A = this chain, B = another copy of it.
């Protein structure tokens, strides 16, 4: 290891408290991208990041889009070697149900964990502000020790990842030349466990859809009309129930068309990870895997497509009771896709499935949300090999190459629009409660993450 890298790592260790304070500034901004009320907070987060990056010798700016701003920065140092693009997002998920948060979601706190170590609590701590700041702080240490990172670094911070990235494709097309570099580093994924670093090479795709079913032309009294009038909540429940068979398979015609079995080599590697299914489920209060029968839990979440109802709305939801038959009912639904599935065809098949089950006097209105295919990365590229070694050195454990049930559409966009591969490296952990109340990020993730990026930058320079 070079003296320079040693100095960078020492600088990171010495500056950890200050790094944490900067992260807390960002965590205090409620940059919920899906909620129009928080648009000013997204702008504030983007502006703050621009200020930080300019202070580190980058040429940074916040670009307006029809939605939230996109931050782009380029390192000014005229070094040789490869050119990388770092991607993370500064927007966060909504915080409801707010009542379940033990501390206010936008008042971050460092607390001692019962299991040892410390946790950073707050919305975005793990997804993705904490991860985003690991790279910023690594650049800060390199700046202090060596005037800047040892390779050319560009940065792309998005503000709409949690709301389907509606502005991203047009932006990538418009900035293709500026953003097409050797390799993208995407920091929005997990470690394998708290001590084992991981590079994620398979991601599921995502189709988001909302359906609103209309039966009667108004809400009805359930006594005066109950028994004769169609109830859209019953109708919706029936359609959603019919979408899954008792073995956990999705029944939409064509849903599994093109879905491959994973190669034996990959399966062997996953078996080698000694994943503890019982512990995985126990952590979330469950015991029985709910997915396709005959598949391991890792298969169910990494390599098999699925469908989830993310919300149902209809009728009376207030306190007490109301004997109403609603005129309308709606559901938000998401499909996680694997390689071989076409998001456009899946959406159409879902709509056909619903429409075929509507009585002639009822109707459905569909709304499209996100649409992203699954992606997978080659396991033998030079960047992956170097990153894997750098991570192993930092964590003292071999780096796992894993799948993920989540979806990071930008990985597909980088390939499709910029012809650029991505390396997915992140330091979150499965119990970080992302998208849930009481989201947290281990201090060890934050600290080790900063150190990992410092090492990866060095490894890419060599």
Residues of A within 8 A of B (CB): 34-36, 93-94, 96-97, 100, 162-164, 204, 206, 208, 210, 215-231, 233-234, 236-238, 240-242, 244, 280-281, 284-292, 297, 300-301, 304-306, 308-327, 329, 331-332, 334, 336, 359-362, 369-370, 404-407, 430, 433-438
Given A308-B325, A315-B332, answer yes or no on A219-B361 (Cβ-Cβ < 8 Å).
no
- Tell me whether A227 and B332 are in contact (CB under 8 A): no
For residue A429, give the distance in angstroms from its CB to the closest CB of chain B: 11
For residue A380, give the distance in angstroms from its CB to the closest CB of chain B: 26
Given A221-B406, A227-B405, answer yes or no on A323-B206 (Cβ-Cβ < 8 Å).
yes
- Tell me whether A236 and B237 are in contact (CB under 8 A): yes
A37 nearest in chain B by CB position: B319
A219 to B287: give the CA distance in the assembly, Å.
16
- Tell me whether A301 and B225 are in contact (CB under 8 A): yes
A219 to B438: give the CA distance in the assembly, Å.
10
Given A288-B360, A289-B228, A290-B229, answer yes or no on A311-B324 (Cβ-Cβ < 8 Å).
yes
For residue A174, give the distance in angstroms from its CB to the closest CB of chain B: 24
For residue A223, give the distance in angstroms from its CB to the closest CB of chain B: 3
A177 to B36: give the CA distance in the assembly, Å.
61
Note all chain B residues with C-beta closer than 8 A to A229.
Answer: 281, 284, 286, 290
- Tell me whether A284 and B237 are in contact (CB under 8 A): no
Note all chain B residues with C-beta closer than 8 A to A406.
Answer: 221, 223-224
12 additional A-B pairs beyond A206-B323, A218-B437, A310-B321, beta carbons within 8 Å, are A34-B318, A97-B219, A100-B218, A223-B406, A227-B301, A227-B306, A233-B331, A234-B241, A237-B238, A240-B241, A287-B360, A324-B436
Which of B100, B297, B309 makes the CB contact (< 8 A) with A231?
Answer: B309
- Tell me whether A311 and B314 are in contact (CB under 8 A): yes
Given A312-B329, A313-B312, A361-B285, answer yes or no on A436-B219 (Cβ-Cβ < 8 Å).
yes
Subset of 10 A-B contacts with CB under 8 Å: A210-B321, A216-B285, A219-B435, A224-B301, A224-B406, A230-B288, A233-B309, A237-B238, A285-B327, A312-B313
For residue A227, give the distance in angstroms from its CB to the closest CB of chain B: 4
A335 nearest in chain B by CB position: B226
For residue A446, give the distance in angstroms from its CB to the closest CB of chain B: 20
Given A217-B285, A223-B405, A284-B216, answer yes or no on A332-B336 (Cβ-Cβ < 8 Å).
no
A290 to B164: give the CA distance in the assembly, Å.
38
Note all chain B residues with C-beta closer than 8 A to A430.
Answer: 224
Which of B219, B320, B405 makes the CB contact (< 8 A) with A224?
Answer: B405
A320 to B94: give the CA distance in the assembly, Å.
10
A257 to B326: give the CA distance in the assembly, Å.
29
Given A290-B230, A336-B223, answer yes or no on A163-B306 (Cβ-Cβ < 8 Å).
no
Note all chain B residues with C-beta closer than 8 A to A329.
Answer: 312
A228 to B316: give the CA distance in the assembly, Å.
31
A18 to B184: give the CA distance in the assembly, Å.
78
A218 to B437: give the CA distance in the assembly, Å.
8
Which of B94, B223, B297, B304 makes the CB contact (< 8 A) with A206?
Answer: B223
Which of B36, B217, B301 makes the CB contact (< 8 A) with A226?
Answer: B301
Note all chain B residues with C-beta closer than 8 A to A436.
Answer: 218-221, 324
Given A227-B300, A300-B228, A324-B310, answer yes or no on A219-B437 (Cβ-Cβ < 8 Å).
yes
- Tell me whether A228 and B324 are in contact (CB under 8 A): no
Q: Which of A226, A288, A320 has the most CB of B within 10 A?
A: A226
Note all chain B residues with C-beta closer than 8 A to A226.
Answer: 301, 306, 308, 334, 336, 405
- Tell me whether B224 and A434 are in contact (CB under 8 A): yes
A246 nearest in chain B by CB position: B238
